[in-house]
Amino acid sequence: MTDTAGSRVAVVTGAGSGIGRAVARRLLAEGWSVALAGRREAQLRETAAAVPAPGRVLVVPCDVTRPDDVERLFAETKAAFGRVDVLFNNAGTFGPAGDVGEIDLAGWESTLAVNLTGSFLCAAAAFRVMKAQEPQGGRIINNGSISAHSPRPRSVAYTTTKHAITGLTKSVELDGRPYGISCGQIDIGNTRTEIMTTLGVGEGALQADGTRRVEPTFAVEEAAKAVAFMASLPPEATVGNLLITAAGMPFVGRG
């Protein structure tokens, strides 16, 4: 076992880019031991290289849609650090753009596989470790989206998964009570990451009335601070849901 006495342990999925990368780096900077999970090993190593953390970082290539990969992720984390205190369940994809009559079954199923089944598999594996470890307990933080509250046009697969994440969060929170396992959700809107380019937020994102509008964004580091705050709460406190968006984005009201 790596010598990490006194260090809290987190698993971050989707740690090779975007919000996952920012959260992993924030936790490492705050002294956590962190297992970085994602499909692309080179990007995970880039995440790790930004914060000197000898003995406190573990790179685990992992496809969250594969049960064996997920089990290996948590087994290697436990072998390296002895326990799991926090899972940031973050891996996700926006999926196909189109209305419900346009997207095909393959696009629908691949989006559910990553965003929903992957989140379930990781939550289940983390839950088992947290339930069995001494001292017992831990915290799971699911990355939802403002799409868990209100959809963008032509995003039926993504929006459906993010609404489902809310149900997963509440169910895990309830199931975890006897074991000191809490579960919360962070819903993030328009932080500056690669997906904002995909959506065209900086050049004009499609609005509900059919127009396009340049939308404000905010630094991904601020979202990472919010996740780190949730992660760092004492066991006696939890954040059930935290909504953080760019100021002035067209979300509340009529835009």
Assess contact for 63 and 39: CB atoms under 8 A: yes
What SS3 state is found at 255?
Answer: coil
Catalytic residue, chosen from 145, 158, 173, 181, is 158
3-state DSSP assignment of residue 169:
helix
Task: Tell me whether strands 33-38 and 9-13 are parallel, antiparallel or unpaired.
Answer: parallel
Q: What's the CA gap between 81 and 137, in Å, rounded?
A: 15
Q: Quick one: which of 48, 19, 44 has its CA closest to 32?
A: 48
Q: Please indicate whether residue 158 is annotated as part of the active site.
A: yes
**Do residues 130 and 138 make contact, with C-beta atoms less than 8 angstroms apart?**
yes
Q: How far is CA 219 from CA 30, 92, 190, 193, 245, in A?
A: 19, 19, 9, 8, 10
Contact status, residue 168 vs residue 224, Cβ threshold 8 Å: no
Catalytic annotation, residues: 158
